[in-house]
Structure 1
Amino acid sequence: MPDLDAMLDAAQAARLKAYAPYSKFLVGAAIQSGSGAIFAGANVENAAYPQGSCAEASAISAMVMAGERRIAAMVVVGGGEGLTTPCGGCRQRIREFAGGATPIHVAGPEGLRASFTLAELLPHSFGPENLTA
Protein backbone atom coordinates (compact mmCIF):
# COMPACT_ATOMS: atom_id res chain seq x y z
CA MET A 1 0.00 0.00 0.00
CA PRO A 2 1.54 3.33 -1.03
CA ASP A 3 2.55 5.68 1.80
CA LEU A 4 0.93 8.88 0.53
CA ASP A 5 2.11 11.01 3.47
CA ALA A 6 5.75 10.01 3.00
CA MET A 7 5.53 10.60 -0.75
CA LEU A 8 3.91 14.03 -0.21
CA ASP A 9 6.66 14.99 2.25
CA ALA A 10 9.38 13.85 -0.17
CA ALA A 11 7.82 15.65 -3.15
CA GLN A 12 7.31 18.85 -1.14
CA ALA A 13 10.95 18.78 0.01
CA ALA A 14 12.16 18.12 -3.54
CA ARG A 15 10.03 21.00 -4.88
CA LEU A 16 11.85 23.41 -2.58
CA LYS A 17 15.17 22.30 -4.13
CA ALA A 18 14.04 22.77 -7.75
CA TYR A 19 16.19 24.89 -10.04
CA ALA A 20 13.72 27.10 -11.91
CA PRO A 21 15.34 30.54 -12.37
CA TYR A 22 13.46 31.24 -15.62
CA SER A 23 9.88 30.10 -15.06
CA LYS A 24 9.97 30.35 -11.24
CA PHE A 25 7.64 27.31 -11.36
CA LEU A 26 8.97 24.81 -8.82
CA VAL A 27 7.90 21.17 -9.16
CA GLY A 28 8.73 18.16 -7.01
CA ALA A 29 7.86 14.53 -7.57
CA ALA A 30 8.14 11.38 -5.49
CA ILE A 31 7.79 7.75 -6.47
CA GLN A 32 7.13 4.81 -4.25
CA SER A 33 8.70 1.82 -5.96
CA GLY A 34 7.60 -1.78 -5.91
CA SER A 35 9.87 -2.43 -2.92
CA GLY A 36 8.34 0.45 -0.96
CA ALA A 37 11.36 2.75 -1.30
CA ILE A 38 10.66 6.41 -2.06
CA PHE A 39 12.60 8.38 -4.66
CA ALA A 40 12.24 12.12 -5.20
CA GLY A 41 13.14 14.54 -7.94
CA ALA A 42 12.80 18.23 -8.84
CA ASN A 43 12.60 20.14 -12.09
CA VAL A 44 15.90 21.54 -13.33
CA GLU A 45 15.70 24.31 -15.94
CA ASN A 46 18.35 25.33 -18.43
CA ALA A 47 18.86 28.56 -20.38
CA ALA A 48 18.49 26.39 -23.50
CA TYR A 49 14.87 25.57 -22.63
CA PRO A 50 14.51 22.12 -24.20
CA GLN A 51 17.50 20.90 -22.21
CA GLY A 52 15.74 21.08 -18.83
CA SER A 53 14.49 18.11 -16.85
CA CYS A 54 11.07 17.52 -15.32
CA ALA A 55 10.67 16.50 -11.68
CA GLU A 56 9.03 13.22 -12.70
CA ALA A 57 11.95 12.32 -14.98
CA SER A 58 14.37 13.18 -12.19
CA ALA A 59 12.55 10.90 -9.72
CA ILE A 60 12.41 8.07 -12.28
CA SER A 61 16.15 8.39 -12.85
CA ALA A 62 16.81 8.17 -9.10
CA MET A 63 14.64 5.05 -8.91
CA VAL A 64 16.43 3.39 -11.84
CA MET A 65 19.86 4.27 -10.43
CA ALA A 66 18.87 2.48 -7.21
CA GLY A 67 18.12 -0.66 -9.22
CA GLU A 68 14.32 -0.40 -9.03
CA ARG A 69 12.09 -0.88 -12.07
CA ARG A 70 8.47 -0.52 -10.92
CA ILE A 71 6.48 2.56 -9.94
CA ALA A 72 3.78 1.63 -7.43
CA ALA A 73 2.55 5.22 -6.97
CA MET A 74 3.64 8.80 -7.68
CA VAL A 75 3.02 12.26 -6.26
CA VAL A 76 3.64 15.47 -8.21
CA VAL A 77 3.64 18.82 -6.36
CA GLY A 78 3.48 22.20 -8.07
CA GLY A 79 2.41 25.72 -7.22
CA GLY A 80 -0.29 27.94 -8.62
CA GLU A 81 -4.03 27.43 -8.75
CA GLY A 82 -4.17 24.73 -11.43
CA LEU A 83 -3.29 21.06 -11.22
CA THR A 84 0.33 20.23 -11.97
CA THR A 85 -0.15 16.95 -13.76
CA PRO A 86 2.76 15.25 -15.54
CA CYS A 87 3.46 16.57 -19.05
CA GLY A 88 2.91 14.27 -22.02
CA GLY A 89 6.53 13.17 -22.18
CA CYS A 90 6.58 12.34 -18.49
CA ARG A 91 3.33 10.41 -18.76
CA GLN A 92 5.09 8.18 -21.29
CA ARG A 93 8.18 7.93 -19.06
CA ILE A 94 5.97 6.86 -16.14
CA ARG A 95 4.27 4.31 -18.41
CA GLU A 96 7.61 2.59 -19.01
CA PHE A 97 7.65 1.55 -15.33
CA ALA A 98 3.95 1.55 -14.38
CA GLY A 99 0.66 0.01 -15.42
CA GLY A 100 -2.64 1.70 -16.09
CA ALA A 101 -3.95 1.27 -12.54
CA THR A 102 -0.93 3.03 -10.97
CA PRO A 103 -2.11 6.01 -8.87
CA ILE A 104 -0.74 9.44 -9.74
CA HIS A 105 -1.50 12.00 -7.02
CA VAL A 106 -1.34 15.72 -7.72
CA ALA A 107 -0.73 18.19 -4.92
CA GLY A 108 -0.04 21.83 -4.20
CA PRO A 109 1.81 23.42 -1.30
CA GLU A 110 -1.32 22.97 0.84
CA GLY A 111 -1.57 19.22 0.15
CA LEU A 112 -3.39 16.74 -2.06
CA ARG A 113 -5.56 18.22 -4.82
CA ALA A 114 -6.53 15.26 -7.04
CA SER A 115 -5.75 11.63 -7.80
CA PHE A 116 -5.78 9.84 -11.13
CA THR A 117 -4.75 6.48 -12.50
CA LEU A 118 -2.08 6.45 -15.18
CA ALA A 119 -4.72 5.13 -17.61
CA GLU A 120 -6.82 8.24 -16.96
CA LEU A 121 -3.84 10.48 -17.73
CA LEU A 122 -2.56 8.40 -20.66
CA PRO A 123 -5.41 6.38 -22.18
CA HIS A 124 -4.65 3.67 -24.75
CA SER A 125 -0.95 3.99 -24.01
CA PHE A 126 1.99 2.39 -25.77
CA GLY A 127 4.16 0.37 -23.41
CA PRO A 128 6.91 -2.24 -23.32
CA GLU A 129 4.46 -5.06 -23.99
CA ASN A 130 3.67 -3.51 -27.38
CA LEU A 131 7.21 -4.38 -28.50
CA THR A 132 7.03 -8.10 -27.72
CA ALA A 133 6.70 -10.45 -30.67
Structure 2
Amino acid sequence: MDLLKAATEVREHAWAPYSRFKVGAAIRAASGRVYVGCNVENVAYPEGTCAEAGAIAAMVAGGDTVIEEVCVIADSPEPVPPCGGCRQKIAEFAAQGVRVTLATTQGKRKVMTVADLLPGVFSAAHMGRA
Protein backbone atom coordinates (compact mmCIF):
# COMPACT_ATOMS: atom_id res chain seq x y z
CA MET A 1 0.00 0.00 0.00
CA ASP A 2 1.24 3.49 -0.86
CA LEU A 3 1.91 5.38 2.38
CA LEU A 4 1.20 8.81 0.94
CA LYS A 5 -2.18 7.63 -0.33
CA ALA A 6 -3.02 6.06 3.02
CA ALA A 7 -2.00 9.21 4.93
CA THR A 8 -3.96 11.41 2.52
CA GLU A 9 -7.10 9.32 2.93
CA VAL A 10 -6.98 9.15 6.72
CA ARG A 11 -6.28 12.90 6.93
CA GLU A 12 -9.85 13.48 5.77
CA HIS A 13 -11.09 11.83 8.99
CA ALA A 14 -9.16 14.19 11.27
CA TRP A 15 -11.15 15.86 14.01
CA ALA A 16 -9.81 19.43 13.88
CA PRO A 17 -12.74 21.78 14.59
CA TYR A 18 -10.55 24.23 16.55
CA SER A 19 -7.37 24.57 14.49
CA ARG A 20 -8.85 23.35 11.20
CA PHE A 21 -5.37 21.86 10.62
CA LYS A 22 -5.90 18.27 9.53
CA VAL A 23 -2.95 15.88 9.60
CA GLY A 24 -2.72 12.29 8.40
CA ALA A 25 0.02 9.77 9.11
CA ALA A 26 0.78 6.32 7.78
CA ILE A 27 3.36 3.86 9.07
CA ARG A 28 4.66 0.72 7.42
CA ALA A 29 5.65 -1.81 10.05
CA ALA A 30 8.32 -4.46 9.64
CA SER A 31 5.51 -6.97 9.02
CA GLY A 32 4.53 -4.98 5.92
CA ARG A 33 1.23 -3.91 7.43
CA VAL A 34 0.25 -0.25 7.14
CA TYR A 35 -1.22 1.62 10.09
CA VAL A 36 -2.80 5.06 9.89
CA GLY A 37 -3.71 7.86 12.25
CA CYS A 38 -5.17 11.35 12.10
CA ASN A 39 -5.12 14.18 14.57
CA VAL A 40 -7.99 14.32 17.02
CA GLU A 41 -8.41 17.65 18.77
CA ASN A 42 -10.16 18.33 22.04
CA VAL A 43 -11.56 21.61 23.30
CA ALA A 44 -9.46 21.08 26.45
CA TYR A 45 -6.07 21.75 24.84
CA PRO A 46 -3.60 19.98 24.87
CA GLU A 47 -5.64 16.83 25.34
CA GLY A 48 -5.74 16.05 21.62
CA THR A 49 -3.82 13.33 19.82
CA CYS A 50 -1.38 13.80 16.97
CA ALA A 51 -1.75 11.78 13.76
CA GLU A 52 1.65 10.14 14.26
CA ALA A 53 0.78 9.08 17.81
CA GLY A 54 -2.50 7.62 16.59
CA ALA A 55 -0.76 5.60 13.89
CA ILE A 56 1.81 4.32 16.38
CA ALA A 57 -0.92 3.33 18.83
CA ALA A 58 -2.75 1.45 16.03
CA MET A 59 0.51 -0.30 15.11
CA VAL A 60 1.16 -1.45 18.67
CA ALA A 61 -2.48 -2.50 19.09
CA GLY A 62 -2.10 -4.47 15.85
CA GLY A 63 0.81 -6.42 17.32
CA ASP A 64 3.69 -4.68 15.52
CA THR A 65 6.50 -2.79 17.22
CA VAL A 66 9.00 -1.95 14.46
CA ILE A 67 8.52 0.97 12.07
CA GLU A 68 10.07 0.64 8.61
CA GLU A 69 8.73 3.85 7.03
CA VAL A 70 6.66 6.91 7.95
CA CYS A 71 4.63 9.40 5.92
CA VAL A 72 2.92 12.53 7.26
CA ILE A 73 0.73 14.92 5.24
CA ALA A 74 -0.87 18.25 6.10
CA ASP A 75 -2.41 21.19 4.26
CA SER A 76 0.43 23.64 4.78
CA PRO A 77 2.72 25.74 2.57
CA GLU A 78 5.73 23.54 3.43
CA PRO A 79 5.98 19.93 4.65
CA VAL A 80 5.30 19.79 8.41
CA PRO A 81 7.56 17.66 10.59
CA PRO A 82 6.17 15.80 13.59
CA CYS A 83 6.11 17.64 16.92
CA GLY A 84 8.87 16.89 19.42
CA GLY A 85 6.81 14.34 21.32
CA CYS A 86 5.94 12.45 18.16
CA ARG A 87 9.58 12.50 17.05
CA GLN A 88 10.46 10.72 20.28
CA LYS A 89 7.55 8.29 19.82
CA ILE A 90 8.70 7.47 16.28
CA ALA A 91 12.28 6.99 17.49
CA GLU A 92 11.05 4.49 20.08
CA PHE A 93 9.99 2.11 17.30
CA ALA A 94 12.20 3.08 14.34
CA ALA A 95 15.90 2.80 13.60
CA GLN A 96 17.77 6.05 13.00
CA GLY A 97 17.96 5.40 9.24
CA VAL A 98 14.22 4.89 8.75
CA ARG A 99 12.77 7.06 5.98
CA VAL A 100 10.26 9.77 6.93
CA THR A 101 8.37 11.47 4.11
CA LEU A 102 6.73 14.80 4.91
CA ALA A 103 4.18 16.01 2.36
CA THR A 104 1.72 18.79 1.68
CA THR A 105 -1.67 18.46 0.05
CA GLN A 106 -0.27 20.63 -2.78
CA GLY A 107 2.34 18.01 -3.66
CA LYS A 108 5.51 19.23 -1.95
CA ARG A 109 7.59 16.50 -0.32
CA LYS A 110 10.59 16.36 1.94
CA VAL A 111 12.30 13.06 2.72
CA MET A 112 14.30 12.74 5.93
CA THR A 113 15.43 10.04 8.31
CA VAL A 114 14.52 9.55 11.94
CA ALA A 115 18.05 10.73 12.79
CA ASP A 116 17.42 13.94 10.84
CA LEU A 117 14.20 14.52 12.80
CA LEU A 118 15.66 13.80 16.21
CA PRO A 119 19.44 14.09 16.49
CA GLY A 120 20.73 13.07 19.89
CA VAL A 121 17.70 10.86 20.53
CA PHE A 122 17.04 9.74 24.11
CA SER A 123 16.91 5.94 24.03
CA ALA A 124 16.71 2.89 26.27
CA ALA A 125 20.53 2.79 26.20
CA HIS A 126 20.50 5.90 28.39
CA MET A 127 18.62 3.96 31.04
CA GLY A 128 21.47 1.43 31.55
CA ARG A 129 22.77 0.84 35.03
CA ALA A 130 26.49 0.91 35.83
Normalising by structure 1, what TM-score? 0.92
Distance apart, 1:112 and its partner CA:
5.0
Please list every run of at least 4 consecutive aligned residues from structure 1 whose deviation after the TM superposition is greater than 2 angstroms: 128-133
Gaps of 5+ in 2: none
Counterpart CA distance in 1 for 2:108 and 2:55 is 19
Distance apart, 1:84 and its partner CA:
1.1
Superposition RMSD on alpha carbons, in Å? 1.2
2:76 corresponding residue in structure 1 = 80
Contact 1:105 1:112 in 2 (8 A): no
Match of 1:100 among 96, 106, 125: 96
1:43-80 CA-partner distances (Å, limit 9, x unpaired): 00000011000000000000000010000010000012
Match of 2:20 among 9, 24, 38: 24
2:29 corresponding residue in structure 1 = 33
Contact 1:71 1:98 in 2 (8 A): yes
Distance apart, 1:36 and its partner CA:
0.7
Normalising by structure 2, what TM-score? 0.95
Matched, 1:66 2:69: no
SS of 1:50's equivalent in the other structure is: coil
Distance apart, 1:131 and its partner CA:
2.2
Matching residue's letter, 1:106: L
Question: Number of paired residues?
Answer: 129
Counterpart CA distance in 1 for 2:14 and 2:66 is 24
Which structure features the higher share of strand residues? 2
Distance apart, 1:108 and its partner CA:
1.2
Match of 2:112 among 111, 116, 122: 116
Identity %: 45
